[in-house]
Amino acid sequence: MSDRPGVSYDEWTIKELRRDPKFAAEYLKQSMADMSELDGRGPAPLGLRRLAEAHG
């Protein structure tokens, strides 16, 4: 087992959203598609929050 603390999924996602505009665009596109498929109850609000945190 490593003594290093891991990076949370949120931290990793936000870092990648900042680093890669193509990833950010796909992430937003998929978040919106997921919300549509679930009649507006999908993960889009969480995806939008992560995008907002990444690009502040």
pLDDT digits (tens, 9 = 90+) for 14-34: 999 999 999 999 988 888 787
pLDDT band at 2 (very low <50, low <70, confident <90, very high): low
Question: Which pair of structure tokens corresponds to residue 11?
Answer: 């931290």
Question: Which pair of structure tokens corresponds to residue 44?
Answer: 């889009």
pTM value is 0.68
Q: What is the pLDDT of residue 38?
A: 61
